Amino acid sequence: MTPGINRLKTWALIALLGGLFVVVGGWIGGTGGLWIGLLLAFGFNFAMYWFSDKIAIKTTRSKPVTEREMPDYHRIVRQLVQAQNMPMPQLYVSEMMQPNAFATGRNPQHAAVSVTRGILQILDERELRGVLAHELSHVSNRDILVSSIAAAIGMSITFISRMAFWFGGDDNDNPLGAVGALASLILAPLAAMLIQMAVSRSREYQADESGAYLSHDPEALASALQKLEQTSRKVPPLATVSPATAHMFIVNPLAALRGRGMLSLFSTHPPTAERVARLEAISQQLRGGSPIG
């Protein structure tokens, strides 16, 4: 998926989010509600474009780390961004003990990468390099803004469903009504998960592939993903991590809180086994002397 396609997806998602607020606002409150919906859409889009990185950093309790504090972390990222001819992102460490990592921001010039305390404890340097190459690929592919807008849609649908519930009530003159409000409460989380799934699965495959070529070590990323999959199901995330932002992480941070069955249909991440299989295929290609790039 090229950066150009991601830009188009970003604007399409922004338009979808804006249209959602306007339609529901007009449905609930007529002409006045339409204008309120338009103002809310503008506010949400403005906030997610300019402050998405700060929101993600705050909700994961990530702290900035200097090169003096974590020289190896800075060295690995600097080597990778130089190979990709990218700006150096801001580097953070989250206090989450669940092993994970994410990238956020609105573009490569305003990007941030965060790793958790947990991931630093279980990965060796080679594996950590593979994970960081994956996250930097999200930045270079301009996935990070798409991811932020997807999170905005998830949060916005939830917000709209609550509006529908409170304003729907039992008023027979309201076209939404109590039944519509109840349906909105049921369907909104499902719609949010479907949107996240649609924009996330292909992105993770692409970041795995781009990261494997960037690090020249797909086996290290495959090994890291297997470790993260095994450990993340045992360690709950921070309470501030919500389903609307779970797709930003390299592996699903809510895996320890989820059961199997129907919920697995709405996972925001591809199956780890499939990701590992694809990385092993890339490794075989590289060993066979195929050109990198």
For 50-100, the pLDDT digits (tens) are 877 788 888 889 999 999 999 999 999 999 999 999 999 999 999 899 999
Q: Which of 222, 199, 196 is nearest to 209 (CA)?
A: 222
Q: Which of 146, 176, 172 is nearest to 162 (CA)?
A: 176
Give the position of tokens 């309201």: 174
Give, for 116, the enclosing helix (H) or strand (E): strand 110-116
The three-class DSSP label of residue 112 is strand
Residues labelled catalytic: 135
pLDDT single digits (tens) 135-170: 999 999 888 877 776 766 666 666 666 665 565 555
Residue 118 in tokens: 């947990």
Q: Parallel, antiparallel, or unpaired: how do β-strands 101-107 and 90-94 relate?
A: unpaired
| Global pTM value | 0.80
Residue 214 in tokens: 């960037």
